[in-house]
Amino acid sequence: MIFAGPGKDEDFGLEEFTGNSADRYKFRTAPLRNLAVSPGFFHNGAFVQLEDAVRFHLDVIKGARTYHPVAAGVPTDLTFRLGPVVPPNLLDPLVRRPIKLSQAEFEALVSFVRDGLLDARVNAMNLCTLVPSKVPSSRPVLTFEACF
């Protein structure tokens, strides 16, 4: 994929589709329901552990400055195009200010997202059977190793 920006290493999000610079860094991400079975978190799979994704959201500015994809568990081949850090003024105001949680509060939050929002039926079904062979664009659907 060819990215945007001077270094061709930035994912501008919704702006790529609308052409509106006010849409830069706006992304559609997965809902919180059933995140316990998700293989990755954020629009680009930047984290593979739910705890790390939650911790990042508690201090987004610090997390962006210290993020290291390999340490986050991202496969090495997906770490080559890490664009610049998103300028703080473009962050949603709700995530600009750090949130302080005790260890017990952090663990309770992770537990709620992981267990409280999990539909038990998800573990009982083989989700791979729901992957369509093609989508309306007629392009083949990418397959996932976990399914085969």
pLDDT at residue 130, as a whole number: 72
Q: Is the pLDDT of residue 148 over 50?
A: no
**For 54-107, what is each residue's pLDDT tens digit?**
999 999 999 988 888 888 888 887 777 666 778 888 888 888 899 999 999 999
User: pLDDT: is 106 or 128 the higher one?
Assistant: 106
Q: Token pair for residue 86?
A: 């998103």
